[in-house]
Chains A and B, each alone.
Chain A
Amino acid sequence: MTTATLLAYVVAGVALVSAAGVVLSARTIYAALCLVGNMVSLAVLFLLLNAQFVAAVQVIIYAGAVMVLFVFIIALLDPGHDPDYEGPRRDPRLWVGIVAVGYITAQVFALAVNGTTYSKTDHVLQGQRLAQAANPSDLHSFSFTPDAVNAAGNVQVLGRELFTTFLLPFEITSLLLIVAAIGAVYLTRRMPHAPGPPSERASVAALPEESAPDAGRETVAVG
């Protein structure tokens, strides 16, 4: 077992535990932190799988931008009103969901086991020839030395593919980003006649009993 394989096992364990933590955490902020850990360990796995650019994008966009957005929204909303504090819901839909998830899991595991044993295509054979040319003594693992990887370059190869073969999906992706940005701005605009968040309404209702000076002035002004 090589060092990289050992590292892959350890990081896969971390990813699994933190993924369970996302669902099992009682507080939303802990779930977000578990998701950050899961994304960082996935980035390590991407590095081990020779996907350097995807690993960098994973850390920058996912663990950086998207999770900052999540934590920002969690901090903005009222943390005291977590409906899961009342315990998980108990109704028949939960059992239907568990059965469906079990079925899907069995299917995906069967695919994952069978999918890696089909007859090797030309791609695999070509990759094995490249790997053995790079390291003739190693016959059992796909081993790309740093020289073999840097000869082409991960970012260069990805960029060339992205702007030639996959140009249309790339452009459609940019359209999706524009639509998402416009949709987010449209959705978060301030609506007229909105009653305000429940915490504000609760504090307004509780104000006359509390002898805060601002509250007293406000009630006098209203009355």
Chain B
Amino acid sequence: MLDIQVFPLLLGLSAAMFTIGSVGVLVRRNPLVVLMSIELMLNAVNLAFVDYGRFLNSEDGQIFALVVIVVAAAEAVVGLALVSQVYRAGRELDIDDLSEMRE
């Protein structure tokens, strides 16, 4: 039994997690940490979806959370493949050096 004050609190947690993730994307230079920050932002969106779904007594939020989880998994796979390929091509793993995706 959750008190009703928990729902705005969890929305605030979601906003804070999204902000922390976007700061990580902007500040960190390691592409792996940048990918993890993107995962953090998607997790924050998931929390907001499920929280609103519970608040409005609807299952739609959980459906969207499942879709977001699938999208995050696909994004992680493609991003990590790109990172490993960049590493194999002999480039340093600094995201500032990778602003142009060519040799």
Contacts and interface: CB of A to CB of B under 8 A. Distances in A.
Interface of A: 1-2, 4-5, 8-9, 12, 15-16, 19-20, 22-23, 25, 28, 31-32, 35, 38-39, 42, 45-46, 48-51, 53-54, 57-58, 61-62, 65-66, 69-70, 73-74, 76-78, 81-84, 88-89, 93-94, 97-98, 101, 104-105, 108-109, 112-113, 115-116, 121, 123-124, 126-127, 130, 135, 138, 140-143, 154, 157-158, 161-162, 166, 169-170, 173, 176-177, 179-181, 183-184, 187-188, 190-191, 194-198, 201
Contacts, number: 275
A23 B28 contact: yes
Contact-residue size bin, chain B (C-beta under 8 Å from the other chain): 35 or more
B6, B16, B46, B67 — which one has the most chain A CB atoms within 10 A of its CB?
B6
B66 A54 contact: yes
B13 to A, nearest CB: 5
Contacts of A61: 69, 73
B39 A35 contact: yes
Nearest to B97: A83
Contact of A54 (B18, B29, B65, B85): B65
Contacts of B57: 123-124, 126-127, 130, 142
A136 B14 CA distance: 32
